[in-house]
Amino acid sequence: MIDALLFNAILLIAVMILLWLVSVRIGDVSFIDAFWGAGMAMLAIASFAQVDAPGPLAWLLLAMTTAWGFRLGIHLFRRWRREGEDQRYERILRRDREKGRFALAALVKIWLGQAVLLFLVSSPAQVGILASGMSQAIPPLAWAGLALYLVGIFFEWIGDWQLARFKADPENEGEILDTGLWRYTRHPNYFGDACAWWGIWLVTAAIGWEWALYTVAGPIFLTFTLTRWSGAALLEKGMRKKRGDKYAEYVARTSSFIPWPPARG
């Protein structure tokens, strides 16, 4: 287990360094968001490749992680190609760029920092696949994890699709998306992300609660960052500045994270 995880860590760092070199060449690190999902899928594949005789649970975790990761990676890569540099990263690296230390700052602040977090969040999939052994049955807890995962996939995929359609219509410029899933939660895609990874964690718990204990920090941190750190909190701060009272009204009637019928005003 330790040797396999060490191999995964070395692989991740090597890929991150290669991508860092690309980001230095083009002067933009924003495409790292696309690698967030794709990198987790990569680590799941690397873990699966190190299992001598993978059973159904290993296959299940591989399918869940790669479906989530590659879909998100493609979606975010296309968004980066369409919209260009993400202003969050531009602000983080602005002073370093002005002082001529963009390359070092990009490596330390962005690529290596994200590598640690990516490895942590994806730990349930990595450890679960490596620990699954040759189990020939999928226990009820794993089915429950798959059900939660599918709920998350629905909210994430449909939420992203609805948002993309909304942004593509010029008539929606300056408006707030408050229909579809966005009527019931201000962040259906983030809620879906959290459900997907808690579902993956439950499958790992079905393999053994000791593995669940070792990896629970992954979904806990992901939920924290989606709700309190770089996800919803940062996004809503920007939306309040851009949309003012209109967004405040949306916030007042719409659940922040867990889907719920809108408040009547």
pLDDT tens digit string along 86-125?
A: 888 888 899 989 888 999 999 999 999 999 999 999 999 9
Helix (H, G, I), strand (E, B) or coil at 187: coil
pLDDT tens digits along 181-205: 999 999 999 999 999 999 999 999 9
Longest dimension (CA), the chain: 59
pTM of this structure: 0.92
Q: For residue 251, give the H/E element and its range.
A: helix 245-253
| Residue 20: pLDDT over 90 | yes
| Cα(227)–Cα(121) distance, integer angstroms | 15
Residues 6+ apart with CB under 8 A from 65: 40, 41, 44, 122, 125, 200
pLDDT value, residue 245: 81
Cβ contact 121:39 at 8 Å: no
pLDDT value, residue 265: 59
| Residue 134: pLDDT over 70 | no
Name which of 19, 49, 51 is nearest 35 in CA terms.
19
* Token pair for 49: 């490749």
pLDDT value, residue 135: 66
Give the model's confidence band at 230: pLDDT under 50 very low, under 70 low, under 90 confident, else very high.
Answer: confident
Report how far Cα 144 is from the mean position of its chain's Cα atoms: 21
3-state DSSP of 12-36: HHHHHHHHHHHHHHHCCCCCHHHHH
Residues 6+ apart with CB under 8 A from 231: 187, 190, 225
Between residues 91 and 231, the one the model is more confident about: 91
Average pLDDT, the chain: 92
Q: In 222-234, which positions are buried (b, 16+ CB within 10 angstroms) versus exposed (e)?
A: bbebbbeeebbee
Give the model's confidence band at 146: pLDDT under 50 very low, under 70 low, under 90 confident, else very high.
Answer: very high
